């Protein structure tokens, strides 16, 4: 048995068995962290980022990678040196006051009736969705693997006692829910297995996905996950699609295996019409893909975009392998996400002035910049958009008109409702709604809609949760310092009185409420204070959020060796063609919608303002710069091989054989500039004779017939052509392979007829 340090009270320990420790290491990714990293330096390692983001920075190979602790910009402030959350002990004193219960803060300041909201005059709801989409590319904090108390074994969902990892949210007596429930279940975030930052080695939390804007929510953040999401039988490097349903000629994501022991969380709910062949949750690169219909839509769009890109790239470069096509499409989609986020999304959030001063023009990759996600960003700053979410999910038919087949829904009925996409018109109705619906405007007195504070996950059954209270509790769980500490960190004025707080918030009533709840501005939870600041000109966040968001996004850009603007990542011509890309173009190419706004993040009030997808104002991505040249300027024609693939990587040609063939010769050749010749002749791909392998590939009563690139199993006694064809297990790769197989069938037919 081994002891693991507890995170509850000093002097206590939690006893965990060695097998449990090993399971924890495996499940949290800690096992990988214990291994020494050796970064490859070959051409492919320079051309493509790894799935895990390891070795992006060669001097610090774990910076920004999956399964590392969040970075800290300020030391954590826990209740004790063991990492007990702020507010764990209700009687604990902070700056001479107790912290208020988070549910009380939510009720007093955040709660907003669904019908009491103001609409954003300039921004669409698709901008709100994009914020969450990018959040899912950057941040995923795993919760404790246990749902029972370590010390007592009590079920955390049925008990209100604080016993790690249970950190339940207290329901105050003034709450309408008080007579029904006394607490909401809440589980602490899993602690990182690595040492924390700073001399005191405080408890740190884990980011289980890559920090970079690299479309990890499409492709995954582990090698095994990435492989599971691919169509391994595709010669094009495609992502796997749904085998049961499709949206006309366009695919859906594949389903996850259906649960055997309980109801599918993504299936139709009680009270909805009965459905045949009930769907399951979709499988994607991020586990939150099914959270609500907006996420399902964006996941589906980019799966389709990947598969569209690999087809076009294959037409340009038929000698590229499936892996090369996959990696090139992934690289392009990563660049698209960076362009849309930094050039279309962030200026609207920060405002142009703050954007230009806090995220100045790109000057190149800086290996001294740590791009890892900061705890304050993950746990507070990038949760700002929760107060801009509409309470209604609008769905619209062709022409952006209301349609009775897929009516608009209360938000809580769209959570984990993936079945609605398959059964109710695909992704198009939701997309039209996102394009035409404005975002909710965040103003004092209209913070967070009751769909999120009173009905979160209500459709799944059980007691609904409160997103605002969850955000506040998570910040306390992570030991985030209070609001004024972060104002000081950003070089902003620090309010010490109600009047100074009122000046900063521009709202004396709100400042008075804060002081009634918290006693002092220093105790205000940072997320609560940050979202309460009035927005900067042209933006949607105040000074504190502007500082924190800009700092993180600048680090994500400058500390990324594969940033799309960095010289050598793409050619000059490729960058020129990538730059005009728009989300409207992605929608046109991957849905049945044929009219879109020029700027999908801006509010469109009238469908007549939409433009046809054929408009020159919505340009297509021209992939011609991705076509490999046929000639090297020094060594002449670039060799290709039969039954194989090749890739020109800088001055090196990398060769690979198609399935069923073995490489004979060197796998790489390079151009010798001095003598203007290739370093050696290209290799050859020799057919693998599966029939001569030690382990038989055919049943004992069948005869093995070797075919170019494959084999067939035939009946031992004079098989007919039909039996050869029907029994064949064939992998046909290229025209040459097809011709050879047909020739083999002709010879076989001549012998048996």
DSSP codes, 80-111: STT-PPTTSSTT--BTTBPPPPHHHHIIIIIE
Q: What is the predicted pLDDT for the residue at 34?
A: 60
Verify that 726 and 708 share a domain, yes or no.
Answer: yes
- CATH number of the domain where residue 681 is located: 2.10.70.10
pLDDT above 50 (res 748) = no
When pLDDT is cut at 50, 70 and 90, the band that residue 179 belongs to is confident
- Whether 443 is in a domain gets the answer no
Residue in this structure with the two tokens 């749904």, named with its chain if needed: 242
Residue in this structure with the two tokens 């290209």, named with its chain if needed: 682
**pLDDT over 70 for what percent of the chain?**
87
pLDDT above 60 (res 488) = yes
Position with higher pLDDT, 260 vs 285: 285
**Into how many domains does the chain fold?**
2
- Whether 728 is in a domain gets the answer yes
136 is a catalytic site residue: yes
pLDDT above 50 (res 14) = no
Q: What is the predicted pLDDT for the residue at 457?
A: 76
Average pLDDT taken over every residue of the chain: 88
Contacts 24+ apart (CB under 8 A), 614-622: 618/582, 618/584, 618/585, 618/588, 619/580, 619/582, 619/585, 620/585, 620/589, 621/332, 621/577, 621/578, 621/581, 621/585, 622/577
Q: What is the pLDDT of residues 451-470, one digit of tens each?
A: 999 988 765 556 789 999 99
- What single-letter DSSP state applies at residue 653? E
- Whether 146 is in a domain gets the answer no
Choosing from 125, 136, 337, 522, the catalytic residue is 136
Q: What is the predicted pLDDT for the residue at 275?
A: 52
Position with higher pLDDT, 119 vs 11: 119
- Whether 370 is in a domain gets the answer no
> CA 582, 587, 590, 592 torsion: positive or negative?
negative
CA torsion angle for 439, 444, 446, 450 (degrees, to 10)? 110
3-class SS of residue 646: strand
- Here the tokens at position 554 are 């600048």
Verify that 642 and 680 share a domain, yes or no.
Answer: yes
Verify that 683 and 725 share a domain, yes or no.
Answer: no
The domain boundary residue, chosen from 667, 687, 707: 687
The domain boundary residue, chosen from 641, 659, 687: 687
Residue 636 lies in domain: 628-687
Position with higher pLDDT, 686 vs 5: 686
Q: What is the predicted pLDDT for the residue at 124?
A: 97
Q: What is the pLDDT of residues 121-165, one digit of tens each?
A: 999 999 999 999 999 999 999 988 777 878 777 887 888 888 888
pLDDT above 90 (res 696) = no
**Can you say how many angstroms the Cα of residue 507 is from the centroid of all Cα atoms in its chain?**
37
- Whether 301 is in a domain gets the answer no
Verify that 633 and 680 share a domain, yes or no.
Answer: yes
Cis geometry, peptide bond prior to residue 165 (ω within 30 degrees of 0) = yes
Measured distance CA(693)–CA(242) in Å, rounded: 35
Instruction: State the pTM of this model.
Output: 0.89
Q: What is the predicted pLDDT for the residue at 37?
A: 84
When pLDDT is cut at 50, 70 and 90, the band that residue 82 belongs to is confident
Q: What is the predicted pLDDT for the residue at 201?
A: 74
- Whether 635 is in a domain gets the answer yes
Region for 477 from its dihedrals, namely left if φ exceeds 0, alpha if ψ lies in -120 to 50, beta otherwise: alpha
**pLDDT over 90 for what percent of the chain?**
75
pLDDT above 50 (res 340) = yes
- Whether 678 is in a domain gets the answer yes
- Whether 655 is in a domain gets the answer yes
The domain boundary residue, chosen from 640, 655, 687: 687
Verify that 737 and 706 share a domain, yes or no.
Answer: yes
């Amino acid at each position: 048995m081994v002891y693991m340090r507890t995170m509850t009270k000093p002097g206590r320990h939690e006893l965990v068995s060695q097998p449990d420790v090993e399971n924890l290491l495996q499940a949290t990714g800690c096992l990988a962290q214990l291994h020494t990293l050796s970064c490859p330096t070959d051409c492919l390692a320079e051309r493509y980022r790894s799935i895990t983001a390891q070795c992006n920075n060669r001097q610090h190979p774990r910076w920004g990678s999956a399964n590392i602790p969040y970075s800290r910009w300020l030391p954590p402030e826990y209740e004790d040196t063991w990492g007990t959350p702020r507010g764990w002990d209700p009687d604990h004193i902070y700056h001479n006051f107790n912290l208020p219960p988070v549910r009380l803060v939510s009720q007093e300041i955040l709660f907003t009736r669904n019908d009491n909201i103001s609409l954003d005059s300039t921004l669409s709801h698709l901008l709100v969705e994009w914020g969450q989409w990018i959040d899912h590319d950057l941040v995923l904090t795993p919760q404790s693997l246990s749902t029972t108390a370590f010390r007592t074994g009590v079920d955390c969902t049925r008990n209100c006692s604080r016993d790690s990892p249970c950190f339940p949210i207290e329901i105050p007596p003034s709450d309408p829910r008080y007579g029904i429930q006394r607490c909401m279940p809440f589980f602490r975030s899993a602690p990182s297995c690595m040492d924390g930052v700073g001399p005191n080695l405080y408890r740190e939390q884990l980011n289980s996905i890559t920090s970079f804007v690299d479309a990890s929510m499409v492709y995954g953040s582990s090698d095994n996950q990435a492989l599971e999401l691919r169509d391994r039988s595709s010669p094009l490097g495609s992502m796997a699609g749904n085998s049961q349903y499709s949206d006309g000629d366009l695919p859906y994501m594949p389903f996850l295996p259906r649960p055997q022991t309980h109801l599918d969380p993504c299936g139709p709910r009680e009270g909805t019409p009965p459905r045949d062949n009930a769907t399951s949750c979709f499988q994607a690169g991020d586990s939150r893909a099914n959270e609500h219909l907006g996420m399902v839509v964006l996941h589906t769009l980019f799966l389709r975009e990947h598969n569209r890109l690999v087809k076009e790239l294959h037409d340009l470069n038929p000698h590229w392998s499936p892996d090369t096509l996959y990696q090139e499409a992934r690289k392009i989609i990563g660049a698209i996400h960076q362009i849309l986020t930094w050039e279309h999304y962030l200026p609207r959030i920060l405002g142009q002035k703050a954007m230009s001063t806090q995220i100045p023009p790109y000057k190149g990759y800086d290996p001294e910049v740590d791009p890892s996600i900061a705890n304050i960003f993950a746990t507070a700053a990038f949760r700002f958009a929760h107060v801009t979410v509409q309470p209604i999910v609008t769905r619209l038919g062709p022409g952006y008109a209301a349609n009775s087949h897929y009516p608009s829904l209360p938000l809580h009925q769209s959570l984990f409702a993936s079945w609605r996409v398959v059964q109710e018109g695909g992704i198009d109705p939701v997309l039209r709604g996102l394009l035409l619906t404005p975002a909710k405007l965040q103003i004092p007195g209209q913070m967070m809609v009751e769909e999120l504070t009173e009905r979160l996950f209500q459709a799944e059954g059980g007691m609904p949760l409160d997103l605002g209270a969850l955000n506040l509790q998570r910040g306390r769980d992570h030991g985030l310092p209070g609001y004024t500490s972060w104002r000081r960190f950003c070089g902003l004025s620090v309010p010490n009185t109600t009047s100074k707080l009122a000046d900063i918030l521009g709202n004396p009533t709100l400042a008075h409420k804060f002081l009634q709840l918290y006693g002092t501005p220093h105790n205000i939870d940072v997320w609560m204070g940050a979202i309460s600041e009035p927005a900067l000109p042209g933006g949607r966040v105040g000074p504190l959020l502007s500082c924190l968001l800009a700092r993180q996004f600048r680090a994500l850009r400058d500390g990324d060796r594969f940033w799309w603007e960095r010289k050598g990542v793409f050619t000059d011509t490729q960058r020129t063609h990538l730059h005009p890309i728009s989300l409207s173009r992605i929608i046109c190419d991957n849905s049945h919608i044929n009219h879109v706004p020029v700027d999908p993040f801006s509010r469109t009030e009238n469908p007549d303002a939409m433009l046809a997808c054929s408009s020159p104002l919505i340009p297509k991505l021209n992939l011609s710069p991705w076509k490999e040249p046929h000639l090297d300027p020094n060594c002449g024609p670039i060799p290709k091989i039969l039954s194989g693939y090749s890739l020109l990587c800088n001055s090196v040609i990398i060769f690979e054989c198609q399935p069923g063939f073995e490489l004979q010769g060197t796998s790489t050749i390079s151009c010798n500039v001095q003598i203007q010749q290739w370093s050696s002749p290209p290799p050859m791909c020799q057919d693998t004779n599966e029939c001569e392998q030690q382990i038989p590939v055919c049943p004992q009563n069948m005869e093995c017939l070797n075919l170019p690139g494959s084999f067939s199993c035939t009946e031992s006694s004079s098989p007919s052509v039909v039996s050869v064809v029907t029994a064949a297990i064939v992998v046909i790769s290229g025209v040459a392979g097809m011709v050879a197989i047909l020739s083999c069938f002709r010879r076989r037919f001549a012998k048996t007829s």
